[in-house]
Amino acid sequence: MSTNFDVLGIGNALMDILVPVDDAFLSEHGLEKGSMALIDNDRVKVLGDAFQSTSESPREIAGGSAGNTVVGIAKMGVKAAYLAKIGQDGVGTRLAEGYREAGLHFSSTPSTTGTPSGQCLIAVTPDGQRTMSTCLGTNTEFGLEDINEAEIKRAGTIYMEGYLFDDESAKAGFVKAAEIAQANNRLVALTLSDSFCVGRHRASFAQLVDHHVNILFANEDEMMALAEADDLETAIKAFARDGLTLCVTRSEKGSLIIDSGKRYDIPAAPVAKVVDTTGAGDQYAAGVLAGRAKGLSWDKAGYLGSLAAAEVISHFGARPEKTIQLED
């Protein structure tokens, strides 16, 4: 069966609302620098009003971790699609429009429960640190009925977001998507997203990786949390096997890719100034998956990931502003 999409992402639909702030703003509003907290709709209103009162107007971007990744993939000229849960509200309408305007195929049906669409309020301090307050909204309703079998069959690789892997309905959806992909000889990629997520669902993540995943994205902390190891090398040995490619990011040290017993040490790409670290891991995954879709070797795809990560941390926001490509 031919493919219509090189990569199909499955993840949270979140309207990212970004604003530059100072440390005093974080203290005033009880925000722990560099953290990610889940909040309710009342807290969204309070923080949203605070964001509007800052000296710079907030930026609104259709995001979510996997959403940012597939947008980055599309920016590199690779065909991409997205499955996510949105609400029947203004935010949901703007999310759908934002994904499509970014070059994605997005056909998800809005929820009819009245639950508002998800939002992520991101406060960015001058040192580039991001402090995120997330209201998941309709993302908590994601389940089996949201898995579009026809679209999965049309994708070369499906890319699933660990942040969404939080309750039993979403877990069942991930397994269903992976089984459809495997039955049709498609690749399954997973990002662990956050060591806190891994800690909450380690056994379920491990089972998913062991039985369904071909490409695993993680940072050092996430990899060690998954393996319950005290060091990265032990964690890698716990999961290194034929049929599973490990892509482990290491901040300024670059990344490691382990595939079929071969190890590739990928250097970080230079960046003049770190402005906003939002989306670095998302864009690394975008570069790797886009590179592989274009037929690049793992080491070259890995460095394309480094270039994509360097580009996104050099400016405000989690989406790429330039088209990234390897120079001949």
User: Residue 225 pLDDT more than 90?
Assistant: yes
User: Residue 29 pLDDT more than 70?
Assistant: yes
Contact 222, 229 (CB under 8 A): no
Note the pLDDT of residue 3: 67
SS3 284: helix
User: Residue 2 pLDDT more than 80?
Assistant: no
Neighbours of 55 (CB within 10 A): 8
Rounded-to-integer distance, Cα 1 and Cα 3, Å: 7
- Distance between the two ends of the chain, CA-based, in angstroms? 32
Rounded-to-integer distance, Cα 171 and Cα 164, Å: 8
- Burial group, residue 117, by CB count within 10 angstroms (0-12, 13-18, 19+): buried
Residue spans of alpha helices (H) in 157-219: 168-183, 195-200, 202-212
User: Residue 258 pLDDT more than 90?
Assistant: yes
Look up residue 145 and give its DSSP letter.
G
For the chain, list the domains and their CATH numbers: 5-14+64-115+136-312 (3.40.1190.20)
**Given strand 36-38, what is the order of strands in its sheet?**
36-38, 130-135, 118-124, 14-20, 59-63
* CA dihedral over 304, 253, 69, 150, signed as positive or negative: positive
- Least reliable range by pLDDT among 47-56, 158-167, 199-208, 319-328: 319-328
Share of the chain above pLDDT 70, in %: 98
User: Residue 261 pLDDT more than 60?
Assistant: yes
Q: Per-residue pLDDT averaged across 191-210, rounded?
A: 93
Rounded-to-integer distance, Cα 213 and Cα 245, Å: 9
Res. 130 pLDDT band, cuts 50 70 90: confident
Q: Which two tokens stand for residue 37?
A: 């907290």
Contact 278, 130 (CB under 8 A): yes
Question: What is the tens place of the pLDDT at every residue in 266-289?
Answer: 999 999 888 888 789 999 999 999
Mean of all residue pLDDT scores within the chain: 94
Contact 286, 76 (CB under 8 A): yes
SS3 179: helix
Pick the closest to residue 18 from 164, 132, 161, 136 (CA basis): 132
Pick the closest to residue 235 from 280, 205, 268 (CA basis): 205
The pairing of strands 245-249 and 36-38 is: unpaired
Buried-exposed string 124-148: b where 16+ CB fall within 10 A, e elsewhere: bbeebbbbbbbbbbbbbbbbeebbb
Q: Which two tokens stand for residue 267?
A: 């250097």
Strands (E), the chain: 5-10, 14-20, 36-38, 59-63, 80-83, 105-106, 118-124, 130-135, 155-161, 187-191, 215-219, 245-249, 255-259, 262-266
Rounded-to-integer distance, Cα 95 and Cα 14, Å: 8
Q: Per-residue pLDDT averaged across 168-197, rounded?
A: 95
Note the pLDDT of residue 328: 55
Residue 91 or residue 35, greater confidence? 91
User: Residue 20 pLDDT more than 90?
Assistant: yes
